[in-house]
Amino acid sequence: MQEARINQVMGRAQVWTALFLLLFAALAVRLFAIQILRHDYYVRKAEATRGRQWPINAPRGNIYDRNGRPLALNLKLYAVAADPGLIDDPTATAGNLAALLRTSPTDLEARLRGKPGSRYVLLCDSVDEQVAEAIRQLGHPGIIVSTEWKRVYPHGDLAGAVLGFVGADRHGLSGIEAALNVPLTGDQGERLVVLDGRLPRSRRQIPGRTVVSKEMVPGSSITLTIDQEIQAIAEEELAAAVESANAAGGCAVVMDPRSGQVLALATQPGFDPNEYQSYDPTTWVNQAVSSPNEPGSTFKAVTACIAIEEGVMANGEIHQCTGTRPIGRRSISCALHGGTRAHGPVDLDKMVVVSCNTGMSTVALALGEERLYRGAKRLGFGEKTGIELAGESSGILPRPGNWSQARVANVGFGQGISVTPVQLLSAYCIVANGGSRVHPRLVQSIVHPDGTIEQCRPPAAEKVLSPETCARVAKDLERVVEEGTGKTARLRGWRAAGKTGTAQKPTPEMGFRSGKYLGSFIGFAPSREPRLAVLVSIDEPKGVHYGAVVAAPAFRNICERSLSYLRVPPDETPAARAAAGRGA
């Protein structure tokens, strides 16, 4: 009996000991976790309860051209701010800082006292390293010196409309800066300023005690498809063309027709993103993607492609051009040439070469709205191209179903629809490359802060035209330059293909034409193995407004200079031989 009792007591003691040991072990593990494993975390947490957090600015990613030449960088500066609640002696602090910040002590003191409750008062956002260091050395509590990054564009207005600019809040507001704002921005970090343990109102900064509570992550850098050299050529030639035509503005776009990569995109009037505020906001608009207009005669090549694919008037059928053709209450006319409007007998190819409006309206009517619409849609009209720029327009390609006869006829030669320069040039790229749809792109790759490179690949190229159709239209466009309306675009050294266009600018009210014109030229070179597709559009030229006069010479100069720069071997044309002879 007694033995059983002893056993019972012994058993209870063992249970208690075991429980006690278990508890102790759990506590030890917890202490180990707090003191050793998560030491930093708890230190930061403790400091956070008696500290102030100040931002660490992340530098924005750089922007480079396709060859790594910088187009947008950051200048390292320092911002000086105050946390009024932490300043011991505003009068003495102001007295010491005023000269360094180039301001009056009275004014500075008022700002150091701050508004009730204010904890961050910016005193100056751009002091250099020397001044920043001097202020740090003074060691005034409540004075915050932080790194600032000022966005700079080392080439001034070069590629301004492509690059865009960054607002005061470090947010990209237009161009690539806006379209790729997220990867360019990075992540702001935080610096914790440790305060002493007094009551909240009388806390003081402990000198020298700051902890980085969150590391900043710099923004990713962007490599564009733009070639700085070709961009400069396009800008110079566009500016010269706008000036000599006494025009309101214009744009020039250069693409690689094989890939859809944009090599240059120039607009006039341009702006310098370093000081974008001092330019009229209309100059910030990128006309190449945001301002659709009637394409005019440059669209005839598109109609020809659709007609050949559909087998409509594509087998030598002849149209008799008398110079005018009545459609409903209006009439279509061909441009006056040599005192007459009549082109006489023309087949589909010749309609492109001589730019016959009545002929192309006949082709369009034979195609009908459904096939015209579907064909244009396949070549990328009526939808955004997806180029990496904010504010892209999809243009206007009306849905089929209720096009009037007049609209069908007009679309054939580029009226009654609206397209952006980049859409139109992309369609010419398809002809140039043998039938593959291209997706115009400005971004080649993104370099992340950890060094990984993300290649930006456009969607796979889809075949939208047969190689035979492309070869035939390319030949027509070559004849435009050799013997047709585009002789002023003829290159010295290379064979080129292209088309002139002159369109009236419509006003916002439908159907009313303003009497203002757009003169344009679009083409590619060398025509047999194209390396460049180029569009030049001149906005509201005064006096002569034909594309052949105002835009084709700029096309020629951009092609000649860019092909030389790219070391593309010249074609063996008579013009090339003549040029070689002149050079010898």
> Which residues contact Zn ion (rule: CB under 5 A)?
321, 334, 343, 356, 358
Going by the DSSP 8-state scheme, the letter that residue 528 receives in this structure is T
Burial class of residue 368 (count of CB atoms within 10 Å of its CB; 0-12, 13-18, 19+): middle
Q: Which is nearer to Zn ion, 358 or 527 (CB)?
A: 358
Going by the DSSP 8-state scheme, the letter that residue 416 receives in this structure is S
Q: Which is nearer to Zn ion, 183 or 344 (CB)?
A: 344
Closest separation in Å from C-beta 484 to Zn ion = 12
**At which residue do the structure tokens 């084709």 appear?**
552
| Cα angle for residues 286, 289, 295 (degrees, 5° grid) | 115
Q: Is the backbone peptide bond immediately before 59 cis, with ω within 30 degrees of 0? A: no
Q: Which is nearer to Zn ion, 300 or 472 (CB)?
A: 300
Closest separation in Å from C-beta 498 to Zn ion = 19
Closest separation in Å from C-beta 409 to Zn ion = 13
Max CA separation in the chain (angstroms): 138
CB 361 within 8 Å of CB 344 = no
Q: Which is nearer to Zn ion, 377 or 479 (CB)?
A: 479
Q: Which is nearer to Zn ion, 205 or 355 (CB)?
A: 355
Q: Which is nearer to Zn ion, 108 or 334 (CB)?
A: 334
Going by the DSSP 8-state scheme, the letter that residue 312 receives in this structure is S
DSSP string, 85-97: GG-S-HHHHHHHH
Closest separation in Å from C-beta 485 to Zn ion = 12
Residue 8: which H helix or E strand, with range?
helix 2-32
Closest separation in Å from C-beta 469 to Zn ion = 23
Other Cβ atoms less than 10 A from the Cβ of 132: the count is 21
Closest separation in Å from C-beta 298 to Zn ion = 16
Distance CA 221, CA 225 (A): 13
Helix H, strand E, coil C: the string for 263-308 is EEEEEECCCCHHHHHHCCHHHHCCHHHHCCECCHHHHHHHHHHHHH
Q: Which is nearer to Zn ion, 48 or 327 (CB)?
A: 327
- Catalytic (active-site) positions: 297
CB 495 within 8 Å of CB 542 = no
Number of helices and strands in the chain (H, E):
19, 19
Q: Which is nearer to Zn ion, 343 or 472 (CB)?
A: 343
Closest separation in Å from C-beta 330 to Zn ion = 16
Q: Which is nearer to Zn ion, 350 or 439 (CB)?
A: 350
Nearest to 475 by CA among 493, 460, 497, 456: 497
Closest separation in Å from C-beta 300 to Zn ion = 11
DSSP string, 12-75: HHHHHHHHHHHHHHHHHHHHHIIIIITHHHHHHHHHHHTEEEEEEPPPPPPEE-TTS-EEEEEE
Q: Which is nearer to Zn ion, 246 or 320 (CB)?
A: 320
**At which residue do the structure tokens 């701010």 appear?**
81
Closest separation in Å from C-beta 371 to Zn ion = 22
Nearest to 59 by CA among 219, 201, 197: 219
* CA dihedral sign, ordered 561, 563, 569, 570: negative
**At which residue do the structure tokens 């080649």 appear?**
444
Distance CA 38, CA 9 (A): 42
Closest separation in Å from C-beta 325 to Zn ion = 9
**At which residue do the structure tokens 């006003």 appear?**
507
79: left (phi over 0), alpha (psi -120 to 50) or beta: beta
